[in-house]
């Protein structure tokens, strides 16, 4: 069997391991949600019972049945952090962590074998970009969760990882081979490698911002669907969302997302600079408004605006999260739509 085929088997193995991790994270999230919901309802029942007992005592004291004491609804502002609901998900968290590490090992071996089979650094086409980008995202997730497992982040990132690997294997795959002379350059390692690393970091930052938005909605009792659009009101303050009490606060999640996006932005900046230098060497100009260059620049502007608004303009909370969503969407579009449907000098061969 050829080395390239062995590499593909390892990638399939990694996709399988990540799928198991995804399921385990989903089970952990479901168990935490069930436990948190049960505790929420029990707490609500205790409050109602206490209020009724107080009403009865007041009626007896004043000799009247008309006095009514309001019952607290136990909303987000008055809730205490849930500290005893993580036990039921401990086994699922352990499985998720183990299979995440296994998937990283298998994917890492698959990437190395791909490079050996091709005789070069494995970042020369969309398939290889997908493999390495998924690897980086999984590494960042493992590092972020090394002290505290947050199942929701695992579900989102592992879901993206599985989708990316399956899409890469079925839609982007090309035989391992040498690249055209224009790509036989050390900038293939620097420029493309840094872009891949930035994309992986942005992926985990995106997942963190999604969770931040949910937590912010619960803490501030906000709706995620506007009434004036005639859509159903979807609140994240009910018992079904009680599991949000087990994750860090919206402010902590926003701080984590900001740190990740700051790292990703630095890497993305280096991607732009490195690409310009390589373009001058290969094409005799630093900038030529190639579709790929434009897409990369647009993403850079969005993340720069996010960091600027966050640090100097006081933009925080939901508005900051929306910036992250737009930036990540542009990064994904620049990788998929521009590569597949727009002709330019950066178009990948073999697609």
Least confident of 98-112, 140-154, 169-183, 299-313: 169-183
Distance between CA atoms of 227 and 218, rounded to whole angstroms?
Answer: 17
End-to-end CA distance of the chain: 24
Helix (H) or strand (E) holding 34: helix 3-62
d(CA 26, CA 31): 9
Measured distance CA(24)–CA(39) in Å, rounded: 22
* Domain extents in the chain: 1-57+92-179, 190-350
Q: Is 111 helix (H, G, I), strand (E, B) or coil?
A: helix
Q: The whole model's pTM is what? A: 0.82
Query: Mean of the pLDDT values across residues 275-289?
Result: 85
Indicate the DSSP class of residue 168: I
At 16-64, the pLDDT tens digits run 999 999 999 999 888 877 665 555 555 665 656 666 666 665 556 555 4
Closest CA to 268 of 306, 305, 310, 296: 296
pLDDT at 240: 67
* Residue 73 predicted with pLDDT over 90: no
Give mean pLDDT, residues 163-172. 95
CB atoms near residue 156 (< 10 Å):
21
The DSSP output letter for 88 is G
Would you place residue 289 in the very low, low, confident or very high pLDDT band (cuts 50, 70, 90)?
confident
In this predicted model, which residue has the larger pLDDT, 304 or 228?
304
pLDDT in tens, 180-213: 776 777 888 889 999 999 999 999 999 999 999 9
């Amino acid at each position: 069997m050829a080395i390239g085929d062995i590499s593909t088997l390892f990638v399939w193995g990694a996709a399988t391991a990540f799928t198991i991790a995804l399921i385990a994270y989903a089970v952990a999230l479901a168990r935490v949600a069930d436990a948190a919901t049960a505790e929420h309802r029990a707490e609500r029942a205790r409050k109602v019972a206490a209020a009724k007992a107080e009403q009865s005592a007041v009626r007896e004291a004043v000799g009247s049945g008309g006095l009514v004491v309001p019952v607290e609804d136990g909303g987000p502002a008055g809730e205490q952090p849930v500290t005893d609901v993580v036990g039921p998900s401990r086994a699922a968290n352990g499985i998720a962590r183990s299979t995440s590490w296994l998937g990283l090992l298998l994917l890492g071996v698959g990437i190395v074998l791909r490079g050996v089979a091709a005789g070069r650094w494995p970042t020369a086409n969309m398939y290889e970009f997908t493999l390495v980008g998924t690897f980086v995202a999984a590494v960042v997730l493992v590092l972020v969760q090394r002290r505290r497992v947050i199942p929701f982040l695992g579900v989102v990132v592992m879901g993206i990882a599985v989708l990316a690997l399956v899409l890469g294997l079925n839609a982007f795959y090309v035989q391992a081979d040498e690249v055209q002379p224009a790509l036989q350059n050390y900038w293939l390692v620097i420029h493309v490698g840094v872009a891949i690393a930035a994309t992986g970091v942005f992926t985990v930052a995106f997942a963190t911002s999604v969770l931040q938005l949910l937590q912010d909605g619960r803490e501030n009792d906000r709706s995620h669907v506007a009434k004036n659009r005639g859509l159903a009101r979807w609140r994240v303050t009910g018992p079904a969302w009680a599991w949000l009490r087990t994750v860090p606060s919206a402010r902590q999640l926003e701080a984590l997302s900001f740190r990740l996006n700051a790292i990703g932005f630095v890497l993305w900046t280096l991607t732009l600079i490195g690409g310009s230098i390589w373009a001058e060497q290969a094409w005799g100009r630093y900038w030529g408004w190639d579709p790929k260059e434009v897409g990369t620049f647009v993403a850079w502007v969005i993340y720069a605006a996010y960091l600027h608004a966050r640090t100097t303009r006081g933009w925080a909370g939901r508005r900051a999260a929306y910036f992250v969503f737009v930036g990540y969407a542009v990064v994904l579009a620049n990788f998929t739509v521009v590569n597949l449907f727009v002709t330019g000098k950066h178009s990948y061969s073999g697609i």
